[in-house]
Structure 1
Amino acid sequence: MVTTYENGCFLLNGTTLVLDDNDASAKLSAEGFDGVTKEQAKENTICYGILKAHNTSDSMDKLCVKFDKLTSHDITYVGIIQTARASGLTRFPIPYVLTNCHNSLCAVGGTINEDDHMFGLTAAQKYGGIYVPPHQAVIHQFAREMLASGGSMILGSDSHTRYGALGTMAIGEGGPELVKQLLGQTYDVDMPGVVAIYLEGKPKKGVGPQDVALAIIGKVFGDGYVKNKVMEFVGPGVKNLSADFRIGVDVMTTETTCLSSIWQTDDEIKDFYDIHGRAADYKELKPGKVAYYDGLVKVDLGSINPMIAMPFHPSNVYEIDEVNRNAADILADVEKKAKVSFGDKVEFSLMNKLKDGKFMVDQGIIAGCAGGGFENICAAADILKGKFIGNDRFTLSVYPASTPIYMEIVKNGAAATIMESGAILKTAFCGPCFGAGDTPANNAFSIRHSTRNFPNREGSKVQSGQIASVALMDARSIAATAANKGVLTPATEFVGEFNKYKYHFDSAIYKNRVFDSHGVADDSVELQLGPNIKDWPSMVALTDNLLLKVVSEIHDPVTTTDELIPSGETSSYRSNPLGLAEFTLSRKDPAYVGLAKEVYAQEIKRREDVPMEELDNELVKAVKTIKTKFSDVNSSNTGIGSTIFAVKPGDGSAREQAASCQKVLGGWANIANEYATKRYRSNLINWGMLPFIIDEGELPFKNKDYIFIPGIRDAVYNKSEEIKAYAVSESGLKEFSLRLGNLTDDERQIILDGCLINYNRVK
């Protein structure tokens, strides 16, 4: 089905694979490529060509990338623009699209959400951007329809910024990376590895893009096969996939932890651009005659069956038929894994979903950048035609990804078919994907064609005793389950026919409603600031030494950004740094905020030149122990802050707030065995937090212990590979080692200055 290979490979003429083994040279020679080296062939990937065209450094090993366009939504753009303003922003130097698809409901928090939207509109007017009003389109669909172009690069402040199927290399990062682009700076990264995703065959009837995506994620996530690499989709199977199908697979590549994705393009993609009135933006992309890839994932499309990602991760993948055959065992395994994350905080059971041997589902959702595409919805309508979801517990909601898609399914009758089945058709909104819409009942089981199924992504609150489950499935199998009144059903059991629907894009919808400055800034416009929109608090430069208190210790295999800063209703406070910080780790470690604040209160006193001997008793005792070895420690040279330990933090969203909330509460570092994604580590760095790495094994400290790091400023400045630290206890100091990993010179300076805002002010 999906196979990975230990070695890299050569791709000849876009079709023939030659594995990088002892026979590779002979095979290359036999194909007429005698003497071609790996280094030469690496330059013939699609990825290499695009990165070379956007690299501003004199080295292809150390990239300094400038993007063509930027895009953000309404729980990220306020913070980004506020950060850029504090750093001297006067106008948007490249097209910057502000969409409103996350805080669209404007139903909680008083005026908060609509205040953010008005900030976005006035910012687009003032600085020369593009503003997409709420309910018009989800961020990624608008980008596909209006922004993507062959060979270009887009940077977005959402982790699912992926437009590779259309020939655009797109990357999702935290807000500070967009700030850098707005200020004329660069995205600095080592040349990533490139992995060939070699497609062959043709999907069977009833199998959709989410099925293919989940099959790939299930294979490559666990061992990090494509982590921080670029996935390049090639091979003879590509031509057998429609543009919508490719888009549906592509958007889910984020869940592999890859850096970005890119696909070979053809007439199918040319037609996509033609339909959207942008024929000039199409560019044929394909590897050179001989291209080398650092890894190979072979995907036999014809062998993939309808898939389901069981709670609570997109990589927890099974075939739907397998779940139906072995439901009791699989549900028991999910319950066991949930126990690791939730402990005794909630009563969690899935066994009651089995009724008369059938797995009963409570809710279906087809939505957002992954599920709300035209072909997905039309296929769902074909399956639902003449069927009824019933009047018991099961519900179904469908969210088209944009108003033009909504308009077209109204015109072709798919909308009527869906609503006749008892399903509800809603506007373009990302809410179901992050816990702000269609929250199910406690202990309900929801199947969704969306992007993630982390704990709480459906909107429940563990701290309040609430928990529901999300499983990821393709729209087709969700519709088949709905047609079967909630009995888990793969779409391959659908005996009818899928119709061929022609898509017609109505450009007037955007032309009549979206504000487009066409790059012209208007200085006379005043930003509209609501009472919840707050500036970032002041932050200080890194001190000579650090005294850190561990205020949370997390031993889950992976800690998601949803656990670091929850999504859902907390999103309304994304424009209020201190207000949002109150929710930090609230669903994972409710004691964190209080402990962090206690430590930060001592740091504030330190900044006011209060001697360390006059701080709280616990800290004074720690300082007394430290001074037995480091007698010069005092308030002027030693910062006081908090830190957390997590095994592997940062999987999931690009949200910078996962780091900034720790920072504004006095956090000065994270300590981890590894970081789940580059984007989370970048967020830490851009907020002046030290991304420490410690070797796996027994920790030399525990929660609520103090850690002293002498000479940390010099260690950062001098690029020290090993950094001495000391666990502080009543019995003395226990030495251990920390590392920071690779940092660019600019990243080191950002940490030294205290954060990206300070760095730019100094510049």
Structure 2
Amino acid sequence: MVKLYDGGVYLVNGTEIVPEAAAPETYQKDTAKQGTIAYSILKAHNTAEDMQNLRLKFDALASHDITFVGIIQTARASGMEKFPIPYVLTNCHNSLCAVGGTINEDDHVFGLSAARKYGGIYVPPHMAVIHQYMREAMAGCGKMILGSDSHTRYGALGTMAIGEGGGELVKQLLENTYDVAYPGVVAVYLTGKPRPGVGPQDIALAIIGAVFKNGYVKNKVMEFVGPGIKSMTTDYRNGVDVMTTETTCLTSVWCTDDDTKAYLAKHGRADDYRELKPADVTYYDGLVYVDLSTVKPMIALPFHPSNAFEIDELNANLGDILREVEKEAARLTEGKDIEFSLTDKITPKGLQVQQGIIAGCAGGTYTNVMAAAHILKGAQCGQGEFTLDVYPSSQPVFMDLLAKGAISDLMATGAIVKTAFCGPCFGAGDTPANNALSIRHATRNFPNREGSKPGAGQLSAVALMDARSIAATAANGGILTSAEKYADNYEVPEYNYDDSSYRARIYNGFGKAEPEDKLIYGPNIKDWPEQEALAQNILLRVCSKIMDKVTTTDELIPSGETSSYRSNPLGLAEFTLSRRDPGYVQRAKDVRALEKARLAGEAQSDEALKSALGKVKNILPDVDEKTIEIGSVIYCVKPGDGSAREQAASCQRVLGGLANICSEYATKRYRSNVMNWGMLPFQMKNEPAFEIGDYILVPNVLDAMDGDMQSIKAYVLGDEVKEIELYIAPMTEDEKKIVKAGCLINFNRKN
């Protein structure tokens, strides 16, 4: 049972839940708000004079090889001379070095040279996925860590970790701050004990299914409390915690206990432990009540982790539920000639699955792989279409799985065991066949996230499940099966951590920068193109209009096949919106060409632009049209769910983007990316009264940014001129200066 409380609650002595409406007058709300674990950690990291508008400095940073090149290039261009805090550079995304020849390995060479020059920590390919390494080597009670990956979550270790776009890491590298209004804090009260066969992914999917669609924890802190925590080991808790990203919360933190202490001590960091728990009377802005004993094995069907069902419920209603998913697929692929079906996989035995994956920061942990190996021991995956691949999350985990015999047990079933790699989570590894169904203990199942290419007629489906039920399905010949069918009283043996592989290969240069060393550039590593400052009057041409309920970062800039170009801003930009609106790139390029002509003082030849400028004269009769900045804009209802990757915004910018317009931003991190790349984060309350190709004049935008930004007049310059109203949610003074400067790099150069 997962229950959401209406309104705020008090938690008394860690166990008694008192709704705010029923609280005695002696409870002081303002004081009780300061009783959360989150408050104490945020206060310790806040450099501002008050706790309302936080200016945070973090204890460590983390990036992988899809993001660290751009971050270092940006920081270097902004004047960085060394890494002021520990900065971990892992190589777990472009690990295969298969797409684009040697381009990916060039990024790894660059990363090592940067770690030497600036004093960083370099984790070579296949050693560990980013978040497992941070759990093992960096996270600790009361710390804060910032990562350029959306699943930066180490709350079960008492660390408040946040995933953001690269611009926010650059600010930390320049010893600036992460600025955010004090967030709401929602308690996740755990009681009971997970039943046999239920894993951390099942708990996570049950919570995500309850809170995502209603935005219950959006941009808030999820604080895990309650007696149920003690029923789970820390390794198990990590598997629940990493999935909090899919709720759209800002970050997470858990109460710590003796098991947390033992985990940190085992990893050689006993000094990083301290007990974290709420005060005797603590106020929360909401509460998610989870009775762990009622959670059953779950499955999140395409195309979102919140599309969650109990496996038993799905198996009892296969036709009805799967037809709804097929309808959603038809909507997403409207206009494309793509064959997609799930109901064709219903057999007399049940739902036939084609592929199983256990991988990454969510699935590849020691506890999950051991539990899967136990279920599969003595079974076979079969000689049919079903395949099973398992990726342990780090070399130390792999080594102990070998020592325990779990790897041999898995291999004997026909499963393929691979090294630490994040590829299955973002479409660069184990891409399933067209129209196949893949079940994965991974983090996301957004459309095309697994690597299928609808533009080329290929569409697959990913469903999220726990490793235990994936193993049960494999043992049952690929027929979708709940782990409860194989559940017994198995207890995972104690983990033995051996970091000898880390000591042998990881370069730890923090505090030992070598400024005379040179960065090593491959031919695909390019600098960011120059951007001009924002003008007082701007003319926006609509280059894409997407009316889907949510537009993910995977749709804004695809993962998978684009990975080789993440170090090449203009090369990567060619893929912008390629899976959702293939015509966008050329439209944006055409607008950029018009702006380049304006800057060069050349006469405009575009008839639509000349017509629009003629209409501008009626609105701004005294303005020289040569001073009006021209740029592209995209409209989405709710953009930015998913990855923290800054390229979702930077690709628009390098193509000449000046703004986004939306009803609301799905995540803070995407809105931050938009601003850090010098684009205006417009919103509007009404339906968009414009189409692709229309021009929108936004006059006096610099003046508007100096006001309250709640009513910004703009004009759609069609056959008739239509006035529309835009607004911008509150921005910090630095965010305003960044947008006015044209991008974060320009702002930093000025300062």
Deviation at 1:351, TM superposition (A): 1.3
1:366-425 deviation digits (Å, cap 9, x = unpaired) = 000000000100000000000000000000000000000000000000000000000000
Deviation at 1:608, TM superposition (A): 1.0
Deviation at 1:558, TM superposition (A): 0.4
**1:8 is aligned to 2:14:** no
Distance 1:318 1:638 in 2: 52
Aligned to 1:641: 631
Q: In 2, are the aligned partners of 1:370 and 1:451 still within 8 Å (CA)?
A: yes
Unaligned residue ranges in structure 2 (runs of 5+): none
Distance 2:225 2:488 in 1: 32
Aligned to 2:474: 482
Aligned to 2:412: 420
**1:112 is aligned to 2:103:** yes
Aligned to 1:730: 719
Deviation at 1:274, TM superposition (A): 1.3
- Residue 357 to residue 494, structure 1, CA distance change in 2 (3 Å): closer
Number of positions where the alignment pairs a residue of Structure 1 with one of Structure 2? 750
- Residue 499 to residue 236, structure 1, CA distance change in 2 (3 Å): closer
Structure 2 residue corresponding to 1:650, chosen from 631, 640, 645: 640
Aligned AA for 2:238? I
Distance 1:92 1:445 in 2: 44
Deviation at 1:632, TM superposition (A): 3.0
Aligned AA for 2:726? L
Aligned AA for 1:670? N
Q: In 2, are the aligned partners of 1:440 and 1:458 still within 8 Å (CA)?
A: yes
Deviation at 1:609, TM superposition (A): 2.0
1:482-513 deviation digits (Å, cap 9, x = unpaired) = 00010000001105442431111112110110
Structure 2 residue corresponding to 1:550, chosen from 529, 534, 542: 542
Aligned AA for 1:432? P
Distance 2:49 2:247 in 1: 30
Q: How does 1:254-653 map to 2 (within 5 A)?
A: 254-345=245-336, 346-356=338-348, 358-611=350-603, 614-653=604-643
Larger mean CA deviation between 661-670 and 517-526 belongs to 517-526
Larger mean CA deviation between 205-214 and 237-246 belongs to 237-246
**1:147 is aligned to 2:138:** yes
Q: In 2, are the aligned partners of 1:75 and 1:102 still within 8 Å (CA)?
A: yes
Larger mean CA deviation between 377-386 and 346-355 belongs to 346-355
1:83-136 deviation digits (Å, cap 9, x = unpaired) = 000000100000000000000000121221000000000000000010000000
Distance 1:61 1:729 in 2: 44
Distance 2:448 2:288 in 1: 31
Deviation at 1:662, TM superposition (A): 0.2
Aligned AA for 1:17? I
Secondary structure, counterpart of 2:682 in structure 1 = strand
Q: In 2, are the aligned partners of 1:382 and 1:499 still within 8 Å (CA)?
A: no
1:543-592 deviation digits (Å, cap 9, x = unpaired) = 01010010111011000000000000101100000000000000000000
Aligned AA for 1:674? E
Aligned AA for 2:198? V
Distance 1:445 1:406 in 2: 27
Aligned to 1:30: none
Distance 2:8 2:567 in 1: 45
Aligned to 2:123: 132
Deviation at 1:342, TM superposition (A): 1.1
Q: In 2, are the aligned partners of 1:549 and 1:705 still within 8 Å (CA)?
A: yes
Q: In 2, are the aligned partners of 1:383 and 1:496 still within 8 Å (CA)?
A: no
- Residue 353 to residue 398, structure 1, CA distance change in 2 (3 Å): same
Distance 1:711 1:248 in 2: 49
Secondary structure, counterpart of 1:536 in structure 2 = coil
Larger mean CA deviation between 489-498 and 381-390 belongs to 489-498
Aligned AA for 1:650? G
Unaligned residue ranges in structure 1 (runs of 5+): 27-34
Distance 2:530 2:69 in 1: 17
Deviation at 1:610, TM superposition (A): 2.5
Secondary structure, counterpart of 1:277 in structure 2 = coil
Distance 2:247 2:448 in 1: 20
Secondary structure, counterpart of 2:688 in structure 1 = coil
Aligned to 1:237: 228
Secondary structure, counterpart of 2:125 in structure 1 = coil
Distance 2:63 2:18 in 1: 41
Distance 1:668 1:361 in 2: 45
Q: In 1, are the aligned partners of 2:613 and 2:625 still within 8 Å (CA)?
A: no
Q: In 1, are the aligned partners of 2:190 and 2:229 still within 8 Å (CA)?
A: yes
Aligned AA for 2:117? K
Runs of 4+ displaced beyond 6 Å? none
Deviation at 1:634, TM superposition (A): 3.2
Aligned AA for 2:548? D
Q: In 1, are the aligned partners of 2:367 and 2:492 still within 8 Å (CA)?
A: no
1:299-337 deviation digits (Å, cap 9, x = unpaired) = 010000000000000000000001101000111000111
Aligned AA for 2:707? N
Aligned to 1:32: none
Q: In 2, are the aligned partners of 1:382 and 1:497 still within 8 Å (CA)?
A: no
Percent identity over the alignment is 62
Distance 1:117 1:717 in 2: 43
Aligned AA for 1:762? K
Tell me the TM-score normalized by structure 2: 0.99
Q: In 2, are the aligned partners of 1:548 and 1:642 still within 8 Å (CA)?
A: yes
Secondary structure, counterpart of 1:759 in structure 2 = helix
Distance 1:307 1:705 in 2: 46
